[in-house]
Each structure stands twice: as C-alpha cells, then as structure tokens.
Amino acid sequence: MTILVTGGAGYIGSHTCVELLNKGYDIIVADNFSNSHPESLKRAAELTGRLFRVVQLDLQDKCQVEELFSENEIESVIHFAAFKAVGESMKNPLKYYQNNLAGTMVLLEAMDRFNVKKLVFSSSATVYGKEADIPIAEKEEIGAANPYGRTKQMIEEMLNDLFQSDPKWSIAVLRYFNPIGAHKSGRIGEDPSGIPNNLLPYIAQVAIGRRDQLIIHGDDYETKDGTGIRDYIHVVDLAKGHLKALEKISYTPIYETYNLGTGKGYSVLEVVEAFQRACGRPIPYTIGTRRAGDSAVCYADATKAKNELNWAAAIEIDEMCEDIWRWQQQNPEGYASVEETAGVKEATGA
Ligand code: WQD
C-alpha cells in the first residue's frame, strides 16, 4: 500500500517524503511544480536510496487525478499541494480560492470514489484569529485574516463536514506555526521563488550576499525587544509530526486538529542573533514600518500533539539556523542552480 503525497516536491513535502522513505513507506508524489523543483525529489531519492513514482499533475485535472487513484493502491494521502503566500493571496484572492479549494475538492472526490479515506491535511496557524489567547491552543477561535488563511479554514470545515457525513473518514489536520530549517545534509531546503516573504529565507539570502540587508517590520510591538515573536519549528520536526499523524489516522477513524509548533517564541532580533552565530558573519538590518496583518506574538500550545500523537519538536533555534546556513551555502541559488533535471524519472524510478 502506498502513501500519496500531493505537493511532495515542496519545502515541507520533500522533507516529509525523506522521512516517509526512511521509515519504509512506499510513496507516490503528485506535484505540478508550479512552486517547487523536481530536483528536490531527485535528492530525496539520493538521500534515502529509495525509488518512488513522481506524477506531474495539477489537482484540478479530474481525469489525471482519477487515473492516479485507479492505477495505484493508495492507502492514505498527505495533502500539501497549495499556494501559500499571504501577501500574494491578498493581491490575487481568486487564484488562491481556485487553486487551493478546487484542487482539494477534486482530490477529496477522487478519494471518496476510490474509497481512500485516510488524510493528513497541511493547515496553518494562520487560521487562528488575532484575538486568540497565547500560547494558542486548538480550541481557540478560528478567524483567518487573509485569503490564504481562509482557504485553509474553509478546507478544514469541508473536511469536518466530510467526516460528519461519513465516519469512515479518518482525518488529521496539522496547523503549522513557522516552519524553518533544512535537512542536515544541506541537499534539500526552503527555496522560495523571487523575493522571500518569510524571515529566515530572507536572512539566509542576506548572509550569502544575494540581498543587501534585512528590513525588520517594526520594533514597536509590545514585546521584549519590540520586534515580532513567532514559534519557529524545524521542518524535520514538522515532517516527523506528519508520520505520527499518519499512524494515528490508521488506527481508528478520527477527525482531529493538532498544532505543530515548539511552544516557544523567539523575536526577530533573537533570530537575527541566532543566525549570526550560525553563519559567523553580521546580518545588516534596518528597522522599517510594521507589515500589514502582522501580529505581535504568535506561538503554539503544543500539548495536544504531545499527548495524542506522542510527538514534540526537539530541535532548537541555533541548530535550525545552522541547518539553513548549510543549505544556503551549498545552494546559493536554491535548486535553480541545477540544470533542469530531466533525470527525475530515472532517479526516482517514476
Ligand atoms: C516572521 C516575523 C515579521 C520578513 C507566515 C504566514 C503563515 C505561515 C508562516 C504558511 C514577523 C518578521 C519577516 C522580513 C521581518 N505560512 N519579518 N522582515 O508572518 O509569522 O507567518 O509564514 O502557512 O501563514 O503568515 O512569518 O517569516 O513572514 O514573519 O521583520 O523580511 O518576521 O514581521 O514578525 P509569519 P514571516
């Protein structure tokens, strides 16, 4: 039996594929490579010594998705495929609703048709409203403040309705806080296209010399040093949380939501200091104005995942920064520095 990983060529997807393969799972990756690079999968095969199928498809293509299910014995699905840039979603909401919602609905309809009813869904802490108590627990009020977050919120509601309508479904919804870091080898990592929206890839590009300086979005928040506080979690810890969720849904039908965070918050300035320790060079920055939509403090109450998934993040902030730096040094231009890899098929045995 096989695990279908949608969006498996992406940052979190590729790290989860490595953990799945190392654990002995057979996987199939479906990805349209709109925001990811086939090279990440070639490297996942190299890192694990495992071959796996890769199918380039868009989840909105109903025929291709149904063919995928009819041709393969799929046991469960881990669904990563989505657009995920908050700022872009505010400029182009329809692109996000169309891609994230329609793609998910085609996937769920195919799963239902082929009686594949075990799902781990990639959600986000961005679904929580601004009024949520800190640390944020799963029971907190939901109220996404941007179209990207609203697509995640709507899909969560879809999944709950599905479970209520047919208790044969078994669904784990994972709300990520701030995923950062890279595989220890430096061979796979976060490779944003264009100017990074998120803090760590931006800092890494300053450190490697691709960007002149970091602009810190405001230092007048009610925090220890005035800069925003977030719950940064290593992408490998996050990936391991998916394997725990996969086990959990295989025992008995559930619909449960879990925060995947460390339960600790670090300010922007603390992260800059940690990255300077990791790379051994100064990170130049200036203080800019607050970024619209940002909150002052956001970090997880991660006790539910600890108690029910027997999972907890283990990697600390300095090691997260060291792993990012190793990836950035080995891949100054991300995967783009690699010739277009026609070789995905032979490397992954597709
Ligand atoms: C972190 C902190 C910024 C960039 C986002 C999405 C969320 C999730 C994770 C998908 C904040 C500050 C950042 C910069 C800065 N993604 N910052 N200068 O906004 O907490 O969460 O990514 O699920 O949906 O909202 O992450 O990395 O953008 O910002 O000062 O150039 O760094 O103000 O305090 P965020 P981030």
Structure confidence by residue, pLDDT tens digits, 91-100:
999 999 999 9
Is pTM beyond 0.75? Reply is: yes
Q: Could you read off the pLDDT of 154-200 as tens digits, one per residue?
A: 999 999 999 999 999 999 999 999 999 999 999 999 999 999 999 99
294 lines ligand 1 (CB under 6 A): yes
Beta bridge partners of 287: 216
Mean local confidence (pLDDT), 43-65:
98
* Confidence label for 1 from pLDDT (cuts 50, 70 and 90): confident
CA–CA distance, 115 with 1 (Å, rounded to integer): 13
Cα 161 from Cα 75, distance rounded (Å) = 21
At residue 215, φ and ψ (nearest 5 deg) are -100, 120
- Give the residue ranges of DSSP H helices in the chain: 11-22, 39-48, 62-71, 86-91, 93-96, 103-113, 147-165, 199-208, 235-251, 268-279, 303-309, 317-330, 344-348
Please give the CATH number for the structural domain made up of 2-348. Answer: 3.40.50.720
- Give the residue, out of 88, 217, 267, 317, with the most ligand 1 atoms within 8 A of its beta carbon, to mutate for a pocket test: 217
Q: Is 307 exposed, middle or buried (0-12, 13-18, 19+ CB in 10 A)?
A: exposed
pLDDT at 346: 45
Domain boundaries, the chain: 2-348
Q: Which two tokens stand for residue 56?
A: 């380039």
- What mean pLDDT do residues 32-53 have? 97
Measured in angstroms, how far is the CA atom of residue 312 from the centroid of ligand 1?
22
Measured from the Cβ of residue 8, the count of other Cβ atoms closer than 10 Å reads 29
* pLDDT score of 339: 59
Centre of ligand 1 to C-alpha 183, Å, is 21
Q: What is the mean pLDDT of residues 250-260?
A: 96
Tell me which of 146 and 349 has the higher pLDDT.
Answer: 146
Q: Which residues on neighbouring strands pair with residue 267, listed in sequence order?
A: 229
Minimum-distance ligand 1 atom for the alpha carbon of 152:
23
The residue type of 330 is: Q
Cis peptide before 38 (omega within 30 of 0): no
- pLDDT at residue 76 tops 90: yes
Strand order in the sheet with 2-6: 53-56, 26-31, 2-6, 74-79, 118-124, 170-176, 255-260
200 Cα–ligand 1 center, Å:
9
Residue type present at position 27: I
Coil, helix or strand for 334?
helix
Atom 16, ligand 1: residue with shortest CA distance: 84
Which residue owns the Cα nearest ligand 1 atom 17?
A: 199
Would residue 148 show up in a list of annotated catalytic residues for this protein? Answer: yes
- Cβ proximity of 309 and 265 under 8 Å: no
Going by CA atoms, what residue is nearest to atom 24 of ligand 1?
A: 126
Which neighbouring-strand residues pair with 26? 2
φ, ψ of residue 127 to 5 degrees: the values are -75, -20
Longest dimension (CA), the chain: 56
pLDDT at 343: 47
pLDDT in tens, 226-249: 999 999 999 999 999 999 999 999
Q: For residue 223, what pLDDT band results from cuts at 50, 70 and 90?
A: very high
The protein residue whose alpha carbon is closest to atom 7 in ligand 1 is: 126
- Is the pLDDT at 138 greater than 90? The verdict is yes
Q: Please tell me the distance between residue 294's alpha carbon and the centre of ligand 1 in angstroms.
A: 8
Q: Which two tokens stand for residue 324?
A: 């990012």
The predicted structure's pLDDT at residue 47: 98
Q: How far apart are CA 217 and CA 287, in angstroms?
A: 6
pLDDT number for residue 348: 58
